[in-house]
Chain A
């Protein structure tokens, strides 16, 4: 079983977010970058599935050489090898086209992604990869088991969940709870240094969108404290001051 895991390289979840004075660019100096947390769940799941099914895990990333530490982290967690498509990721159409082009040349039984990245939060890349490869996708997968070449996937839907039978190959998006987080051990970290990391050049792809500017949310005004003895007045206050109830 060949599993591909798509990873992105994102600011640490505790990082302070700052922009250039014209708000056109995210300022990355002083920001630690990490493996996108959802992708880490996908990778943990892939490593489990590969060890249970005699499979291999390849991670793929679209980015410049600056993201190699994140790729090495994925190798330390347990991926067998890695592919970096050497291009600045422009938008979801662009990134999905790069990954789909690679997969068309190098087929996989399963492609796992995080259900979203913690920087753009768009959730488009996994679905677009599936569309470009004309294969099924379950974006909000909660659990995934393999039986006789079919996957059984529990998927989140509005107001509940559904159980799906999905033929391979497919794309699935990982959410929390799909796998236990894996912490790389010393052996993993050592071996990650020598695992293969293939760099391939990008294919031509049109850019469909671009960041115009960023904005930080307006700060909230100072908190109004309500006396716990009269906690019950809360709803009257919410009605008269905010009209939200």
Chain B
């Protein structure tokens, strides 16, 4: 028996969400007194694979088959299910990234398993197996009991800290059975902005709303984000007006995020917006209206005009960063 973590790579490299998943998997495996096995799919170097050992994976399976070099959710789900059977995995864990959310439910069906999505904490395992997840778009948490023998979990980025537990991992090649049907979707084009911080798993987010008056004023938001190493986001009216892409919209019908720091500029804080950001660890609100409802949900507030406050924040952020180096 084992705990299996599927760790995503982006162009051959593991990133922080993958190390969070291994750290989470290690802690859960300890609770269950089971070994932790990591599975990587696609082309990844041995040096990179060994990194999984740093966070506690004692075995690393490498499904490096050339056909798997481009993400196919169907094929990846099949590979994960096959690995889970080989390793007799009782819990299969992955990130609730775009890919993870598209893969985990397939794995759960293949294994007739219970699924716990968007998990934000280590599960309770004494007797019942209970996971905690966000529900009602951030307005509550649901504790869900997973009843089946095998469980599939997807874990929210930024909800579990990376912890080092160095072991020398045993690397082994994993050769799954592949079906042509699992490669029905053809990828015509991939557009990745590698120079920008990705929003769903960003630790710091700078977001702005209608208070900025127009898309031409986003330069200062982007500058503040760049200085801080933050991702940029926006409110719904902003993406609806086409000022910013829909992919930046955080809120009830946009994406839900849980960064360490969320700075909201010129956003009033409608309940639908709060739903998407209420899991942020610290919220800073900049708004010239002292009555803006967002101040009630914030840890820090600056009542002032964004056009005066943000340039000051940029200067201060630069000085702060310089003092840290």
Contacts and interface: CB of A to CB of B under 8 A. Distances in A.
Do A and B share a complex?
yes
A38 B284 CA distance: 29
A118 B137 contact: yes
B190 to A, nearest CB: 5
A212 interface: yes
A82 interface: no
Chain B interface SS verdict (over half): mixed
B54 interface: no
Contact of A244 (B134, B184, B191, B261): B261
Interface residues of B, number: 105
B136 A119 contact: yes
B145 A212 contact: yes
Contacts, number: 272
Interface in A175-216: 175-177, 206-216
B114 to A, nearest CB: 4
B115 to A, nearest CB: 6
B108 interface: yes
A162 B70 CA distance: 12
A209 B299 contact: no
B186 A212 contact: no
Contact of A211 (B138, B139, B144, B316): B144
B298 A220 contact: yes
B198 A214 contact: no
A105 interface: no
Interface in B260-283: 260-261, 271-272, 275, 278-279, 281-283
Interface of B: 8, 10, 71, 73-74, 77, 97-99, 101-106, 108-110, 112-118, 128, 130, 132-148, 181, 184-194, 196, 198, 200-201, 203-204, 228, 236, 239, 246-247, 249, 252-254, 256, 260-261, 271-272, 275, 278-279, 281-286, 295-305, 308-309, 312-313, 315-317, 319-320
5 contacts: A14-B271, A17-B136, A221-B299, A234-B313, A234-B316
Closest 4 CB pairs of A and B: A232-B316, A228-B304, A160-B192, A127-B105
